[in-house]
Amino acid sequence: MSIPDGTQFEGALVEQAKALLVQLESGDSHQAMKTISNLHTSRDQYLFQEVGKLTRSLHTAIQNFHVDSGFDASTLGEMSRMEDASERLNYVITLTERAANRTMDMVEETIPLSNSVGNRARELKPEWERLIRREMKPEEFRVLTHSVTSFLEQASKEASQIDDNLSNILLAQDYQDLTGQVIKKVITLVQEVQDNLVQLVKMAGSVDQIAGIEHAPFDPKPKENPVGAEGPIMNPEKRDDVVTGQDDVDALLSSLGF
């Protein structure tokens, strides 16, 4: 998504600026005004072309937004049917929610099992301590033996279920690999767009400097908007001034020659 070198464009602007200086020194104000107008026109045309190229490359990058393999066939199949990055990001959100719900279900199922083992062990502890101190009668010892045997059998089953639940919790975290890939690609994409926009701003600034154009100081305070935020577009499919998908973006860029 790199923007072409603007060296030739800057060279042309320098030539126009030199011509403007000669015209001003000779008092040819009429021709000087035309040259200034040409400077503005050249600047606007160049920025329009570069913004168009940037938008086209960004649009292409979004459409070609893929993640690496390494996931099960159903996940890859579902991802391949998605048209662009926004759908894949929404899919990642769905995976995250699904994994979170699965994890919470497993935790809620495991807590009673763990509590059951702990409670039963606490119930048996006093009787076991009596046995250690040899305070138990033979009848009580036989009852304790059956109780301990029952506890061990039940604890073994519950421990196996806890182990299965923990394994399911671990498997539910597989989505993080996919999430990490997508987020890294989004960061890279945003960084490239930012770098190109900065290059455009620098180019526009150099043009203004050559042309001697001065801008008002930047006011960091946001101006009040009497209209306010427009909010989400309602019924975009019924409006002809709103693009509703990547196909519309592609058609718009093509109609503008990009």
Residue 36: phi, psi to the nearest 5? -60, -40
Among the ranges 29-33, 129-133, 221-225, which has the highest mean pLDDT value?
A: 129-133
Which domains occur in the chain, in start order? 7-73+190-255 (no CATH), 75-175 (1.10.287.500)
Determine the longest span between alpha carbons in the chain, in angstroms.
Answer: 125
Of 235, 232, 187, 199, nearest in space to 65 by CA: 187
Please say if the pLDDT value at position 79 is more than 60.
Answer: no
pLDDT value of residue 141: 92
pLDDT given at position 189: 76
How do residues 9-51 score in pLDDT, each as one tens digit? 677 777 878 888 888 888 888 888 888 888 778 777 777 777 7
Cα(176)–Cα(185) distance, integer angstroms: 14
Helices (H), 82-233: 85-132, 138-171, 175-211
CA distance 60 to 57: 5
Position with higher pLDDT, 195 vs 143: 143
